[in-house]
Amino acid sequence: MTLGEKLKKYRSDTGMTQEELAARLYVTRAAVSKWETDKGYPAIDSLKLLARLMGCTLDELVSDDDMIIQKQIEDRRAKQMYVCAIVCFAVAVLFALLAYFLENVWWTIGALAGIAGYLGFAFFSRPRYKRFAANGIYRAVVFVIMLAIVAAITIVGIVQ
């Protein structure tokens, strides 16, 4: 949570307007508005007054502990998406094998649905802050190999 978000939450929780908060901090309402939208940052004197008004320390006011908690939540969600991606891949392989051995084209619909599910969940299997990192080559190669295996089994099942 940014300083602006914390400030806005505190102000709304206490029922103050921007003008009232500005009067308590000896600044203009426009300054409070800039701080709340993270377009500006208060001076150290204003930060001290804010911390005193909010009943917290300066460290708590400007710390990134909320960002760490948010990253942990995103990591946990990414692990869940990874498990779902693996399950979808297993389902795709299962349906592709059924289409091959039972020589029934209709099982390929399940294989294609499994592939689509895998693609969706695999994209979200990385936290947002890591999703577009530079080390995606390895993941892309593994992804293409896995997709090629399922596609090959499915196509062989359709051709026969």
| Domain CATH code at residue 24 | 1.10.260.40
**Pair 38, 116 in one domain:** no
Domain count across the chain? 2
pTM of the predicted protein model:
0.48
- Integer Cα distance of 28 and 33 in angstroms: 9
pLDDT in tens, 96-144: 888 888 888 788 888 888 888 888 888 778 776 565 554 556 666 777 7
**Pair 31, 52 in one domain:** yes
| pLDDT of amino acid 113 | 87
Split at pLDDT 50, 70, 90, the class of 22 is: very high
pLDDT in tens, 63-84: 766 667 777 888 888 899 999 9
**Pair 56, 111 in one domain:** no
Q: Is 26 left (phi over 0), alpha (psi -120 to 50) or beta?
A: left
**Axis crossing angle, helix 107-123 with helix 65-102, rounded to the nearest 10:** 160
Return all residues near 59 (Cβ < 8 A) that are at least 6 apart. Answer: none
**Pair 92, 44 in one domain:** no
Q: What percent of the chain has pLDDT over 70?
A: 86
- Integer Cα distance of 96 and 109 in angstroms: 9
- Integer Cα distance of 70 and 42 in angstroms: 24
Q: Angle at CA 154, nearest 5°, toward 151 and 78?
A: 50
| pLDDT of amino acid 83 | 93
- Per the model's pLDDT, the better-predicted residue between 131 and 16 turns out to be 16
**Pair 28, 44 in one domain:** yes
**Pair 89, 132 in one domain:** yes
Contact 36, 8 (CB under 8 A): yes
Task: Count CB-CB contacts under 10 A for residue 50.
Answer: 23
**Pair 86, 19 in one domain:** no
| pLDDT of amino acid 19 | 93
In terms of Cα–Cα distance, which of 117, 118, 103 is closest to 153?
Answer: 103
**Pair 59, 79 in one domain:** no
Per mean pLDDT, which of 10-14, 69-73, 89-93 is the most reliable?
89-93
Q: Which domain holds residue 140?
A: 70-159
Task: Provide the b/e sequence for 108-136 (b: ≥16 CB within 10 Å).
Answer: bebbbebbebbeebbebbbbeeeeeeeee
Split at pLDDT 50, 70, 90, the class of 51 is: confident
